[in-house]
C-alpha cells in the first residue's frame, strides 16, 4: 500500500513537471539571411542584431515564460535559395514567422511563399518599392528608398550647392533599380539637371567606361544606386580617374564594406538612413554598448534594424495567447503586429499599411523618419 502511494506521488510529480515543460515551450522564429556570398555583410549584421535581441528577451524570462528559438538559414542572397529556405522554415521547421530575406530581389521571389501559407514575413533590409503590395502578411521596418532618398538628395543639394548630377545604377537588381527610379523622380521634382545616366550589371567589377562618360559631363555630384561593394569600387575607380565630386547613395552604402574597400576615398558621400551611431538616445546608446560587448565590434544600420524588429515582434507576442495550433498562432501574430509601436535603437517606429492594389489589401511598411549622414574619415557622421 505504501509502495503504491509512493509510486502515485512520484507519477504526480512527473506529470506536473511535464506540464511545466509544455507551458514553457520554445517560440520558433525563422531567420533567412545571406550569410555567405556578396550580400553577407548585410545578412551577417542582421543575424547579429537578432541574436542580441533574442539573448536579451530570453534573459528577462522570454515571452510569458516561453523562450525565443531562432532557426537560422543561409539564403546566400540568391532568389532560388531564398525560396528553398522559406519552404524549409515554414513546412519542415514549422516556425511561427520568418525574418528576412536580406535583399529585395530575394524577397520578391520568396515572400509570396509565406503570403500563400499565411505566415508573417518581417523584412529588416528590404527597401524596394512594391514589396508589400497585395501581401497582408508581409511587414518591414526597413524604410523604403522612396521615403529616404528625397530627404537625402535635398540635404546634399543644399550642402554642396549642387546644380547638375550624373547617375549610375545596377539595372538588373530590384533594390538598385528601385533606388534609381526614386532618384530619377526626385531629381526631376527638384529640377536638378542630369548630365548622364549610366548602368552596370550585377557582378561587374570594371566601371571605368561608365565613369569616363560621367567625367566628360562635368557633374557636381554622382548619384549611385548600388550595394556597398559595388559602390566602393565605383568610388575608388572614379578617384583614380580624377573625379573628386561627392557621391549620393541609398541604404546600400551604409555598410562597413564601403570603408573597408574605399577607405577615405568615400569622404563626402551622403546617405540617408533611419539609424545613426551619432544619435544619442538612451535606447540607441544601450544597443550600441550591448552590441560591442557581445560581438566586440561596432554595429551598423542593419544590426540595429534587426535588433529592433525582434523586440517589435516580442511586444506583439506578449499580447497574444499562443495555443500551440500553428495556423491559429500565425494568424494571431499577423493581426496584432501591425499595431505595435516601439522606441528602439532606430528611434520611434510604427507601421503604416500599404495601399490596396486591385482590391487586395497590402502589407505593412515602416513609418519612420530618416537622418542624413556624410562620410568623413572612414565613418558616417550626421550632416548638420
Provide the residue range defining the domain that includes 212. 146-273
Residue 12 has pLDDT above 70, yes or no: no
Name the pairing type of β-strands 68-74 and 270-273.
Answer: unpaired
**Is the residue at 17 inside a domain?**
no
Domain-ending residue, one of 273, 297, 316:
273
Residues 76 and 90 in one domain: yes
Residues 169 and 263 in one domain: yes
Residues 343 and 226 in one domain: no
Question: Which residues are 224's β-sheet partners?
Answer: 168, 249
**Is the residue at 20 inside a domain?**
no
pLDDT digits (tens, 9 = 90+) for 212-266: 999 999 999 999 999 889 999 999 999 999 999 999 998 888 888 899 999 999 9
**Is the residue at 18 inside a domain?**
no
pLDDT at 251: 82
Residues 91 and 199 in one domain: no
Residue 269 has pLDDT above 60, yes or no: yes
Residues 256 and 189 in one domain: yes
* Better-scored residue on pLDDT, 16 or 127: 127
Q: Provide the domain count of the chain.
A: 2
Residue 16 has pLDDT above 50, yes or no: no
Residues 241 and 287 in one domain: no
Domain-ending residue, one of 273, 302, 327:
273
Residues 65 and 119 in one domain: yes
CB 115 within 8 A of CB 86: no
pTM above 0.85, yes or no: yes
pLDDT at 349: 97
User: What span, in angstroms and rounded, lies between the C-alpha atoms of 232 and 378?
Assistant: 12
**Is the residue at 9 inside a domain?**
no
Average pLDDT over residues 181-198: 96
Average pLDDT over residues 146-162: 95
Examine residue 101 and say whether the peptide bond preceding it is cis (omega within 30 degrees of 0).
yes
**Model confidence at 24, in pLDDT bands (50, 70, 90)?**
low
pLDDT digits (tens, 9 = 90+) for 273-292: 889 998 899 999 999 999 99
pLDDT at 173: 86
pLDDT digits (tens, 9 = 90+) for 360-379: 999 999 999 889 999 999 88
Sheet holding 347-353, edge to edge: 68-74, 27-33, 97-99, 121-123, 138-140, 364-367, 347-353, 341-344
Residues 133 and 156 in one domain: no
Residues 115 and 35 in one domain: yes
**Is the residue at 196 inside a domain?**
yes
pLDDT at 252: 82
**Is the residue at 11 inside a domain?**
no
CB 310 within 8 A of CB 293: no
pLDDT digits (tens, 9 = 90+) for 316-364: 999 999 999 999 999 999 999 999 999 999 999 999 999 999 999 999 9
pLDDT at 295: 98
pLDDT at 4: 55
> CA torsion, points 176, 350, 308, 345, in degrees to nearest 10?
90
CB 333 within 8 A of CB 120: yes
Residues 209 and 196 in one domain: yes
pLDDT at 250: 87
**Model confidence at 8, in pLDDT bands (50, 70, 90)?**
low
pLDDT at 21: 40
pLDDT at 23: 43
pLDDT at 22: 39
Q: Backbone phi, then psi, for 241, in 5-degree steps?
A: -85, 0
Amino acid at each position: 500500500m505504501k509502495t503504491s502511494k509512493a509510486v502515485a506521488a512520484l507519477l504526480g510529480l512527473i506529470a506536473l513537471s511535464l506540464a511545466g515543460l509544455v507551458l514553457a515551450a520554445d517560440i520558433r522564429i525563422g531567420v533567412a539571411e545571406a550569410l555567405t556570398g556578396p550580400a553577407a555583410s548585410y545578412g551577417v549584421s542582421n543575424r547579429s542584431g537578432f541574436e542580441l535581441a533574442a539573448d536579451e528577451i530570453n534573459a528577462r524570462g522570454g515571452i510569458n515564460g516561453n523562450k525565443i528559438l531562432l532557426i537560422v538559414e543561409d539564403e546566400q542572397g540568391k532568389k532560388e535559395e531564398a525560396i528553398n529556405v522559406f519552404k524549409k522554415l515554414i513546412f519542415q521547421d514549422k516556425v511561427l514567422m520568418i525574418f528576412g530575406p536580406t535583399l529585395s530581389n530575394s524577397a520578391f521571389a520568396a515572400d509570396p511563399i509565406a503570403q500563400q501559407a499565411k505566415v508573417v514575413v518581417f523584412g529588416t533590409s528590404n527597401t524596394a518599392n512594391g514589396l508589400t503590395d497585395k501581401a497582408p502578411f508581409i511587414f518591414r521596418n526597413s524604410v523604403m528608398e522612396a521615403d529616404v532618398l528625397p530627404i537625402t538628395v535635398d540635404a546634399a543639394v543644399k550642402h554642396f550647392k549642387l546644380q547638375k548630377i550624373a547617375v549610375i545604377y545596377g539595372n538588373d537588381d530590384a533594390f538598385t533599380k528601385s533606388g534609381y527610379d526614386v532618384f530619377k523622380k526626385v531629381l526631376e521634382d527638384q529640377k536638378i539637371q542630369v548630365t548622364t545616366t549610366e548602368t552596370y550589371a550585377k557582378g561587374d567589377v570594371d566601371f571605368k567606361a561608365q565613369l569616363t562618360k560621367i567625367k566628360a559631363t562635368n557633374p557636381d555630384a554622382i548619384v549611385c544606386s548600388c550595394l556597398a561593394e559595388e559602390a566602393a569600387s565605383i568610388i575608388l575607380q572614379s578617384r583614380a580617374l580624377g573625379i573628386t565630386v561627392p557621391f549620393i547613395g541609398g541604404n546600400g552604402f551604409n555598410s562597413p564594406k564601403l570603408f573597408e574597400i574605399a577607405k577615405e576615398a568615400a569622404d563626402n558621400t551622403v546617405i540617408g538612413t533611419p539609424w545613426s551611431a551619432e544619435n544619442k538616445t538612451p535606447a540607441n546608446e544601450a544597443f550600441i554598448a550591448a552590441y560591442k560587448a557581445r560581438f566586440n565590434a561596432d554595429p551598423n544600420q542593419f544590426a540595429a534594424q534587426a535588433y529592433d524588429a525582434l523586440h517589435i515582434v516580442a511586444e506583439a507576442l506578449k499580447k497574444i495567447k499562443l495555443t500551440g495550433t500553428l495556423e491559429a498562432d500565425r494568424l494571431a501574430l499577423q493581426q496584432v503586429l501591425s499595431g505595435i509601436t516601439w522606441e528602439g535603437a532606430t528611434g520611434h517606429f510604427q507601421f503604416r499599411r500599404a495601399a490596396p492594389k486591385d482590391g487586395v489589401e497590402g502589407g505593412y511598411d515602416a513609418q519612420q523618419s530618416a537622418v542624413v549622414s556624410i562620410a568623413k574619415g572612414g565613418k558616417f557622421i550626421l550632416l548638420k
